[in-house]
Amino acid sequence: MFHLSIITSFAAAHNLLHYQGDCENLHGHNWKVEVTVSAEGLDKSGLGIDFKILKKHTREVMNYLDHKYLNDLDAFTDISPSSEQIARFIFEQIEKSLQEYEVIVQKVTVWESDNAYAAYTRS
Ligand SMILES: Nc1nc2c(c(=O)[nH]1)N=C([C@H](O)[C@H](O)COP(=O)(O)OP(=O)(O)OP(=O)(O)O)CN2
Ligand SMILES: [Zn+2]
Per-domain residue ranges of the chain: 2-120
H or E element at residue 13 = strand 2-14
> What does the pLDDT read at residue 5?
98
Probe residue for ligand 1, chosen from 23, 109, 120 as the CB with the greatest number of ligand atoms within 8 Å: 23
Output DSSP code: residue 2. E
Q: How many CA atoms lie within 13 A of 12 on its CB side?
A: 26
Q: Whose CA is nearest to atom 9 of ligand 1?
A: 82
Q: Is the CB of 27 under 6 A from ligand 1?
A: yes
DSSP 24-81: GS-EEEEEEEEEEEEESS--TTS-SS-HHHHHHHHHHHHHHHTTEEGGGSGGGTTS--
> What does the pLDDT read at residue 117?
98
Q: Is the CB of 16 under 6 A from ligand 1?
A: yes
**Amino acid identity for residue 5 in this structure:** S
What number is the ipTM of this complex? 0.91
Question: What architecture is domain 2-120?
Answer: 2-Layer Sandwich (3.30)
Q: How many CA atoms lie within 13 A of 10 on its CB side?
A: 24
Residue range 16-36: mean pLDDT, rounded: 98
Q: Is the CB of 71 under 6 A from ligand 1?
A: no
Cβ neighbours around 65 below 10 Å, total: 22
- Catalytic amino acids? 23, 67, 112
CB within 5 A of ion ligand 2: which residues? 23
> What does the pLDDT read at residue 33?
98
pLDDT digits (tens, 9 = 90+) for 51-106: 999 999 999 999 999 999 999 999 999 999 999 999 999 999 999 999 999 999 99
